[in-house]
Amino acid sequence: MSAEKYRIGFLFLLWIFVHVALFYCFGIRTLYDSKGYIQGADYLLANNTLEDVHHIFYAVPIVILSFFRLTFTDSVLPFLLFQIVVSGIAMIALYKTTAKVFKNSYAGFFATLVFLLWWDNIQWNTTILTESLFCSVTILIFYFTVCFDKSKLHIYLLAVLVIILFFIRPTAVVIYVGIISYVMAKHWNSLQSTILRTSFFLILVTVVCCAAYLLLSRWDFTEQYAVGNIVTYMNEIEGTALYHESLRLSTDQLVMPEQNNHPAFKIISFIYLNPLHFFEAFCWKIGYLISGVRPYYSMGHNVFTILWLIIIYFGFFVGARISKPKSVNILVFSIVIANCLLVGISTVDWDNRFYIPMEPVIALTAGGGLARVYAIS
């Protein structure tokens, strides 16, 4: 048996061990938005329609969850097992994609190892949320994008996955920005016509603007700014042990926009009226997103997170330097930047779930960097 098969076998066993350990330690978890998804699935079964119009952005997990609850008498365990299996397929796709990008099977091994051991992300596989499926489908999209062989099957599968992603989480727009940027970068030199180049750029701008307008039609980001929140809904737990004053900014000097305006124009107006406040909140949110730490976590949790991310980011920057297809770097950094901008404009989540859109590309790039470090050590 070749060394590569041993590495893949090891990863497969680790995949089993990690998920068995998660179930053993925590069991089936229904956290935060979980009850909303379960309720939405049950409502769909009872009424043959979505409970709320915004559930269209989460339609895929709600439909799948409703199917399993109908088939297995209201159980959520089959849905979790489904998530884990899809994550296993994504693990293989990540291995092959990274190995292709860096032309090194060790890069695929380290990227997959990072993916499996990244505690803050892999835990969502055993929780009734949308992050697990979003992450897995994102990786599959990267696989069919980077390993594209121009066959009809690849075209169809990629198109289906891109559509599915939109109905898993609205942050699919971040991935779309990356994919369009990648295609533009890869084919830029072959687009001799200025018209074609301009058209590709306008497509990217149009996608971003339309998606932003659509998202802001449902979510008003100024609501969190009005109460000074850096972390989502921090104002609602004031007076409890989890509350930290440092996670809210003073709102005494804020000038709020007209409440009757569309949310898209409200956030633009808010930034114009309160540039310093917005910039301070923006920086704090991105800082917490990138670092993964929170004041309400234990000291041990925060120290472990920082040490883990030092390793990941070190591998990431090495990988970004040695990545030969620069179009892949465009894919990676456009997704990271787009996700950071989205969080900076909106809010950072309690448990850093908003990190998920950029986790696959960071794991991929870090895998290449760690493989290089391993090779020269």
Cβ atoms within 10 Å of 245's Cβ, excluding its own: 11
Question: Mapping DSSP to helix (H, G, I), strand (E, B) and coil, where does residue 155 land?
Answer: helix
pTM of the model: 0.92
Q: Is a pLDDT exceeding 70 seen at residue 157?
A: yes
Question: Where are the chain's structural domains?
Answer: 3-30+76-376
Task: Give the count of alpha carbons within 13 A of 75, CB side only.
Answer: 9
Closest by CA to 207, choosing from 166, 147, 169, is: 166
Cα distance between residue 118 and residue 30, in whole Å: 20
Give 280-328 pLDDT, tens digit per residue: 999 999 999 999 999 999 999 999 999 999 999 999 999 999 988 788 9
Q: What is residue 233's predicted lDDT score, i.e. its pLDDT?
A: 86
Cα distance between residue 34 and residue 131, in whole Å: 11
Strands (E), 90-167: none
State residue 254 phi and psi, 5-degree precision: -70, 145
Q: What is residue 340's predicted lDDT score, i.e. its pLDDT?
A: 95
- Per the model's pLDDT, the better-predicted residue between 266 and 360 turns out to be 360
Cα distance between residue 22 and residue 33, in whole Å: 19
Task: Give the count of alpha carbons within 13 A of 247, CB side only.
Answer: 23
**Residue listed under structure tokens 């995949």:** 15
